[in-house]
Amino acid sequence: MAEHIRVHLNGEDRDIPTGLTVRGLLESLELEPRLVVVERNREILSRVRYDDVVVGEGDTLELVHFVGGG
């Protein structure tokens, strides 16, 4: 198995370690899971699944959060 996989993360191609769970990915990016919403291949991931779901090759991920706005 390759050590890295290519994913599309927040609009950019990125290589990440194989076998990372969503939580693992967030932690590797130094993001707080409870402050981030994850959309994987256009499907919103419930936070309880962050430990179960493994990021796959070619996944399109959107990590979003609340910012200031009117």
Partner 1 sequence: MAKTRKRGGSAEAGRERAAELARRDAAAQRGPESGEVAKGGEAPPMGPTVPGGGVVREDAPVELRLHGKGVVQHPTTRVRRVSERPAPWADPALEMPPPSLRELEEEPLVIAGQAFRSRLIVGSGKYPDPTVMVAALRASGTEMVTVAVRRVDLARREGILNVLDPNEFFLLANTAGCFAAEEAIRYARLARAAGFNEWLKLEVIGDQETLLPDTQATLEAAHALTGEGFKVMAYTNDDLVTAMRLEDAGCVAVMPLASPIGSGLGVVNPYFIREIKRRLSVPVIVDAGVGTASDACITMENGVDGILMNTALAEADDPVAMARAMRYAVRAGRLAYRAGRMPAREIAVPSSPTRGMLN
- How far apart (Å, rounded) are the C-alpha atoms in residues 38 and 63? 5
Partner residues linked to 7 by β-bridges: 14
Smallest separation, CB 26 to partner 1 (Å): 9
Distance of CA 3 to the CA centre of its chain: 17
Count of beta carbons in the 10 Å neighbourhood of residue 62: 15
Give the nearest distance from C-beta 45 to partner 1 in angstroms: 8
Residue 53 binds partner 1, judged by CB under 8 A = no
User: Which of 2, 3, 58, 70 touches partner 1 (CB under 8 A)?
Assistant: 70
Chain residues that interact with partner 1, rule: CB under 8 A? 9-11, 29-31, 34-37, 39, 44, 46-47, 62-70
